[in-house]
């Protein structure tokens, strides 16, 4: 198989890394890729939003399957265009991807399908939203309706914080058009889980559940980020709970999208809050999570190329997922100043020393300049280690991460600390 992976972050590096292990894969490309991906696949300088350019490349290079990593090209209709051109693609249509690109669409779907979630109201006028806040209990959650790179969510502990968040989104357009509407919803308490599932529009195959660390600071403090680390499988997710989430969350969502004329083929990601032992949905995404993918894929024993091709050909019912009897921990190394302003271009040292048995260093924001690997993003690297226990996996991940240096390097010291024995 000739496979094209779309994207250039840590998630895409993990996908390329896993696909490169398949004996069925003869050629791998990644658009645009990064310095680490370039060691496993041919990087092509096509932006993820250049849908026409990606289509032309797939046609001219006899690509057998295109795997879409980030949400932006899905929201722009990449999968629609590829299917119109008879090009095999793993990723949902533009309409189906609204489950991520529009939180109001996702909330309406959940209500129609009776999927357990938080109570919410949707606003596009500042005055109406502020009037609603007068009747709310705090804390409360304010979300930008559209895509905001995982940063468009504010948990407001006070009325002032809530008002500031609403004004920033609706009036000051802190997130551009993504914040032209806001969802104000009940603050759920409990433990958060990520459950990703392969689906071809009818069959749903869940992956090992993960837990991530979204905030920049130790102890879940500071602003939200794209994710500072993750681990899998989450001990919180028992087999019974996973079955319940498939039955009451994932399957109804897929059924509802199909009923609405938007069948979903790709990865359905459910952000779940486990409250009093029961799941309630915080959000849906239409693609692999980042950094959850870096913790989950090292545990997958089944050939990923087989799974993706089966989903694209609507025969996922013929696939059984097998998982290694081990656990994984991913620690993200970020640039100083992230998630606010930060500088790029700092040389990265120690990468060969970090490459050990049962450790993978996934590049998220890196580039090659003058023969050196340099920082090129807010989240720079994801160091993932796997072992028989979380104690061992975590120690191995932090040991490998400690061998890597670049100016301003930062990582949280408490990734997976909550599950240590």
Write down the domain spans for the chain: 2-90, 125-180, 190-318, 327-419
Q: What is the pLDDT, as a whole number, of residue 148? A: 82
- Mean pLDDT within 173-192: 92
- Mean pLDDT within 127-131: 95
Q: What is the pLDDT, as a whole number, of residue 361? A: 98
CATH topology of domain 327-419: 3.90.600
Nearest alpha-carbon partner for 205 in 325, 86, 277, 306: 306
Q: What is the pLDDT of residues 167-176, one digit of tens each?
A: 999 999 989 9
202: pLDDT strictly greater than 70: yes
- Mean pLDDT within 190-205: 97
Q: What is the pLDDT, as a whole number, of residue 8? A: 98
- Mean pLDDT within 13-21: 98
Could you give the CA distance from residue 324 to residue 296 in angstroms, rounded to a whole number? 10
CATH topology of domain 190-318: D-amino Acid Aminotransferase; Chain A, domain 1 (3.30.470)
Architecture of domain 2-90: 3-Layer(aba) Sandwich (3.40)
With bands split at pLDDT 50, 70 and 90, how would you rate the model's confidence at 421?
Answer: low
CATH topology of domain 125-180: Dna Ligase; domain 1 (3.30.1490)
152: pLDDT strictly greater than 90: no
Q: What is the pLDDT, as a whole number, of residue 269? A: 98
With bands split at pLDDT 50, 70 and 90, how would you rate the model's confidence at 151?
Answer: confident
66: pLDDT strictly greater than 70: yes
- Mean pLDDT within 371-395: 97
Q: What is the pLDDT of residues 242-260, one digit of tens each?
A: 999 999 999 999 999 999 9
Q: What is the pLDDT of residues 288-321, one digit of tens each?
A: 999 999 999 999 999 999 999 999 999 999 999 9
192: pLDDT strictly greater than 70: yes
The rounded mean pLDDT for the chain is 96
- Mean pLDDT within 105-126: 94
Q: Confirm if 133 and 163 have CB atoms less than 8 A apart.
A: yes
- Model-wide pTM > 0.85: yes
% of the chain beyond a pLDDT of 90: 95
% of the chain beyond a pLDDT of 70: 100
Q: What is the pLDDT, as a whole number, of residue 132? A: 95
């Amino acid at each position: 198989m000739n496979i094209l992976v779309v994207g250039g972050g840590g998630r895409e590096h993990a996908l390329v890394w896993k696909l490169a292990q398949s004996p069925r894969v003869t050629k791998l490309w990644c658009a645009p890729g990064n310095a680490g991906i370039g060691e496993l696949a041919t990087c092509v300088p096509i932006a993820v939003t250049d849908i026409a350019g990606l289509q032309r490349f797939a046609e001219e290079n006899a690509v057998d399957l295109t795997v879409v990593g980030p949400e932006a090209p899905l929201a722009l209709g990449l999968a629609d265009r590829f299917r119109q051109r008879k090009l095999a693609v793993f990723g949902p249509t533009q309409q189906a991807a609204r489950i991520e690109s529009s939180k109001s669409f996702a909330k309406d779907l959940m209500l129609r399908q009776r999927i357990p979630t938080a109570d919410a109201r949707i606003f596009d006028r500042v005055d109406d939203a502020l009037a609603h806040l007068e009747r709310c209990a705090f804390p409360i959650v304010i979300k930008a309706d559209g895509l905001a790179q995982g940063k468009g969510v504010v948990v407001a502990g006070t009325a002032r914080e809530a008002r500031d968040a609403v004004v920033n989104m609706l009036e000051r357009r802190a997130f551009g058009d993504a914040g032209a509407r806001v969802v104000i919803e009940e603050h759920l308490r409990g433990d958060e889980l990520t459950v990703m599932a392969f689906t071809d529009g009818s069959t749903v195959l869940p992956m090992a559940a993960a837990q991530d660390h979204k905030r920049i600071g130790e102890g879940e403090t500071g602003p939200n980020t794209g994710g500072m680390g993750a681990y899998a499988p989450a001990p919180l997710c028992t087999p019974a709970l996973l079955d319940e989430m498939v039955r009451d969350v994932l399957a109804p969502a897929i059924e509802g999208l199909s009923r609405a004329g938007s069948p979903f083929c790709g990865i359905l990601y459910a952000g779940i809050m486990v409250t009093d032992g029961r799941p309630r949905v915080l959000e849906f995404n239409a693609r692999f999570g980042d950094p959850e993918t870096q913790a989950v894929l090292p545990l997958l024993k089944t050939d990923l190329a087989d799974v993706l091709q089966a989903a694209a050909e609507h025969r996922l019912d013929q696939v059984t997922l097998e998982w290694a009897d081990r656990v994984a921990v991913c620690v993200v190394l970020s640039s100083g100043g992230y998630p606010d302003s930060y500088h790029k271009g700092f040389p990265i040292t120690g990468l060969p020393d970090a490459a050990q048995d049962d450790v993978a260093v996934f590049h998220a924001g890196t580039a090659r300049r003058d023969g050196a690997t340099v920082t090129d993003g807010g989240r720079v690297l994801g160091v993932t280690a796997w072992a028989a226990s979380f104690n061992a996996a975590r120690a191995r991940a932090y040991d490998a991460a400690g061998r890597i240096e670049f100016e301003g390097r930062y990582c949280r010291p408490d990734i997976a600390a909550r599950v240590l024995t």
